[in-house]
Homo-oligomer: A and B are copies of this chain.
Amino acid sequence: MTRYQLFQKIKDKESFLCVGLDTDLQKIPKHLLKEEDPIFSFNKQIIDETHKYAVAYKPNTAFYESMGSKGWDALQKTLEYIPNDMFTIADAKRADIGNTSAMYARAFFEHMDFDSVTVAPYMGSDSIRPFLGFENKWVIILAATSNPGGLDFQHLSVNGEKLYEKVINTSKQWGSPDDTMYVVGATRPEALKEIRNIIPDHFLLIPGIGAQGGDLKTVCDNGLNSKCGLLVNSSRGIIYSDSTTDFAKEAGTAAKKIQLEMADILNTR
């Protein structure tokens, strides 16, 4: 999906919501456990009820890997089930030496057909460049993450700038706003503001609203640009809204609530 297509989709749906498919056997409604593939069954119903209100889905690979090859199959089936007009994110946080990162890029862009994959920047240029150069595919680089440990290294000062600023200033030269996004936690509004100044045009993937405590309005005040420029993710706050047979309907209601807030924000700017 191109940046233009993504922005059109956001305008059409009045939404920049990404639904995180962090699907955990221990958290899904109990009645699903008797199905042949409970994970896929859960995801299918969540997608059915939420896709009208969202523009993106983000399965986190950890939840699928924890079930081995069965989980990997469920991930593949989920990806195939997601409607074609949605932006898909493999939240994998990969990166390795050049020839190995190229294998990861093949895993997520060729063997599977994700639009994008999240990557960790610690290993530098040759660990990230192999994800670039796939037509209409995106790399999403961790910058200032939402978790408490995000403060351990990312906010340290390196030669007068914070490490996450250095990561952005260096890595923005490897790609462009047409193939690179950055992860900035909703729990880091001050970082978001600084990052928007450094990269006015790039899309930012914002986890951390809902369960992690970030606030949508604050995120938008600091991060929106003229082409929206934000994908705001909610995982647990949507998919685990309810644990009865109504779980998917309730997830739809939770997604709609956020979409309506987003429509309001987009229409009043």
Which positions in A face B, CB cutoff 8 Å? 22, 24, 60, 62-63, 65-70, 72-73, 76, 91, 93-98, 100-101, 103-104, 106-107, 110-112, 120-128, 142, 145-154, 156-159, 163, 166-167, 170, 212
A111 and B62: CB pair below 8 A? Answer: no
Per assembly, the copies of the chain total 2
In the bound complex, CA of A53 to CA of B67 (Å): 33
Query: Could you say which residues of chain B place their CB within 8 Å of the CB of A122?
Result: 120-122, 142, 145, 153-154
A126/B153 contact (C-beta < 8 A), A62-B94, A95-B93 known = no
Query: Could you say which residues of chain B place their CB within 8 Å of the CB of A70?
Result: 69
Query: Could you say which residues of chain B place their CB within 8 Å of the CB of A128?
Result: 149
Q: Knowing that A68-B112, A124-B152, A156-B159 touch, tell me 15 more A-B residue pairs with CB under 8 angstroms.
A: A60-B96, A63-B103, A66-B110, A68-B72, A69-B70, A93-B94, A93-B120, A97-B147, A98-B148, A121-B122, A123-B142, A123-B149, A123-B150, A124-B147, A153-B170
Query: Could you say which residues of chain B place their CB within 8 Å of the CB of A100?
Result: 22, 60, 62-63
A238: shortest Cβ distance to chain B, in Å?
16
Q: Which partner residue on chain B sits nearest A68 by CB separation?
A: B111
Query: Could you say which residues of chain B place their CB within 8 Å of the CB of A148?
Result: 98, 124-126
